[in-house]
Amino acid sequence: MIYQIYQRNLLAEIRRGKLPQHVGLILDGNRRYARAIGLVDILDGHRLGANKLEEVLTWCEELDIRMVSIWILSTENLMRPPEELGGLLRLIENKLRDTARDPKVHKKRMRIRVIGKLEILPPSMRSAIREAEEATRNYDGFYLNVALGYGGRQEIADAVQSLLRDRAAQGMSLERAMEEVTPDNLGKYLYTYDLPDPDLIIRTSGEVRLSGFLLWQSAYSEYYFCDAYWPAFRRIDLLRAIRSYQQRERRFGS
């Protein structure tokens, strides 16, 4: 009862303030949660994490937060032991296909977009990505950006290479092309070139670092680090993160 009253009061408090429009989520702690509750199969922790995501997206929608970016597989994750990685990739692939066919997704008009170095992912995963993106391409009710095979440093390196490649195709010399490598120009070559930067980034599991998530885009984002493992993330944790965001004065470098 006390918990419910506290949550209700917290919700009323944050509704009076300015809400973030774009929230980034680093879904950390699935494996540690599985071990903590005694699960034999570590992959079950990832399954619980996938179910938690559905809950959290619903909470965001209720708060009229219509854009969420999640990081579920880094380039470093691809170096995990084959027996674990194979199961994780199948889980993500199946989830993408299920999402593309989920009536709730279409009712909410949720657009799904996957960002990352997609060419390093297995062909079947790339096929599932295309299916999810094509099925939701014309939607504008909610935006879910999924970082797969993603690394912030790699994104910036890819952007530089793409910019220089384009300038070379235009016949520019290397010296002239290098002058074109400016923040404004480079931003047009990021995976998220047409998306607004995140206002708030939340990381679960008690780790106090970004690990390269949206490295360029998060220059002026507010960060919130939550001790709960991702599968144990609660609605009250989200509300506390938003309250913390509202209590800060955003200066954007000025």
Residue with tokens 């939701």, as numbered in its chain? 136
The candidate with the shortest Cα–Cα distance to 111, out of 103, 119, 124, 100, is 100
Q: Which long-range contacts (CB under 8 A, 24 or more apart) does 46-55 make?
A: 46/87, 46/88, 46/91, 47/91, 48/231, 49/230, 49/231, 50/91, 50/95, 51/231, 52/230, 52/231, 52/233, 53/27, 55/235
Task: Dihedral sign for Cα 240, 244, 246, 250, please.
Answer: negative
228: three-class secondary structure by DSSP: coil
Residue 197 known to be catalytic: no
Residue 77 known to be catalytic: yes
Q: Is 174 domain-assigned? A: yes
Q: Is 171 domain-assigned? A: yes
Could you say which of 77, 158, 185, 197 is catalytic?
77
What averages of pLDDT result for each successive group of 10 residues across the chain (254 residues)?
Answer: 90 96 97 96 94 96 97 90 89 95 96 96 96 97 97 96 96 96 96 96 95 96 97 97 92 65
Q: Is 14 domain-assigned? A: no
Q: Is 66 domain-assigned? A: no
Domain span including residue 170: 151-190
How many domains does the chain fold into? 1
pLDDT of residue 253: 63
Q: pTM for this one?
A: 0.94
pLDDT of residue 254: 59
Q: Is 173 domain-assigned? A: yes
